[in-house]
Amino acid sequence: MSHPRWRNARSGGSSVVRKPTALPAHIVSVPRALSKLGYCSRTEAIRLIEEGRVTVDGRQVRHASQRVDLARSVLAVEGRDIVAERPVYLMLNKPRGVVTTRHDPQARGTVYDCLPRNLPYLSPVGRLDKASEGLLFMTNDTAWAEYLLNPASGVAKTYHVKIDRVADSALLAALAAPVAEGGELLSAIAVEPLRSSARSSWIEIVLTEGRNRQVRRMLAAQDAEVLRLVRVAIGGIRLGELAKGANRPLEAEEVMRLRSAPTSWS
C-alpha cells in the first residue's frame, strides 16, 4: 500500500494542502536500518532484501520501503540477528587514483583497499573523486557523519589546490564571490594564495558545502585547470603527516571537537 506524503483535504469546496507529519528518527526504512547498524550499505541491503535474506521480527522483508523501529524491531540476515557495531572513527589519507566506493564496476582500486579487513562496515564521510587526494573520514556512526555533511552544521573543509596559472588578485576575488554554475550557486568561505611559480600556483579554498566536484567547478568557471587537489583539513582536524594510503583512529577528543567547533579550520 502506498503511503502518500501529501494529502488534499476538501473543506467547503476548497483544497487544503497539509504537510506530512515527520516520522521519528528511529523509524527508518530497512536498508537505512541495516546501514545505521553498521552491517552494510543501503545498496547492498536492497540486494539482500530482493534475495529474500532479510527478516524483521521473524518475518521476511519483501519491500525495501518497509519501515522499522530501530528501538524495538529485531533485524536479521540469513537468520543471524544484526546488532549495532561499536562506533569506529578513522581518518584516511586517500591516495590519488583510487575511488571512494566499496565495489567499483571498473575494478579500480578503492579506499577500502587501504583499510584493515577486520573492521565493521564503514562508510566514507563525503567523497573525494578519483583524481583528488587527502583527508577522508570513515565511520559507522551515521548520525555523526550526517552532522558533518549537513551544510547547516557549518563544518569547514579545507583544500590545497594547484592550478595551471598564476593566482592573481582578480582570480582570488572571483573565487571568493559566489559562482553560478550548473544551476547551482557555489561559494567558498575563504580563499588564500599559498605559493606561485611562473606557470602555476597553489591556493587554499575553504568550503562549508560539499557539492559534487565543487572546487573543480569553481575553478573551471574561471578558466583555471586543477593540476592537483588535496583536502588537508575537516573542521579542526588536519591531515598532518599521515602517509598516503595510511589510516589512524580518531581520538575521542577529535570526534567531539568536530561536533563542537565546526567552523574552525586553523
- As a whole number of angstroms, the distance between CA 251 and CA 122 comes to 17
Set 129, 141, 168, 223: catalytic member: 129
How far apart are alpha carbons 155 and 148 in whole angstroms? 6
- The answer for 15, left when phi > 0, alpha when psi is -120 to 50, beta otherwise, is beta
d(CA 81, CA 160): 45
Residue 41 has a CB neighbour count (10 Å cut-off) of 16
What are the cell numbers at 220?
Answer: 573551471
If you ran DSSP here, which 8-state letter would residue 110 be given?
B
Burial (CB count within 10 angstroms: exposed 0-12, middle 13-18, buried 19+), residue 31: buried
C-alpha 94/C-alpha 63 separation (Å) is 36
Neighbours of 260 (CB within 10 A): 9
Distance CA 200, CA 187 (A): 23
Cell 593566482 belongs to residue: 167
What letter represents residue 48's amino acid?
A: L
226-234 and 157-163 strand pairing: antiparallel
104 part of the active site: no
What whole-number distance in Å separates Cα of residue 211 and Cα of residue 159?
A: 14
Which residue numbers are catalytic?
129
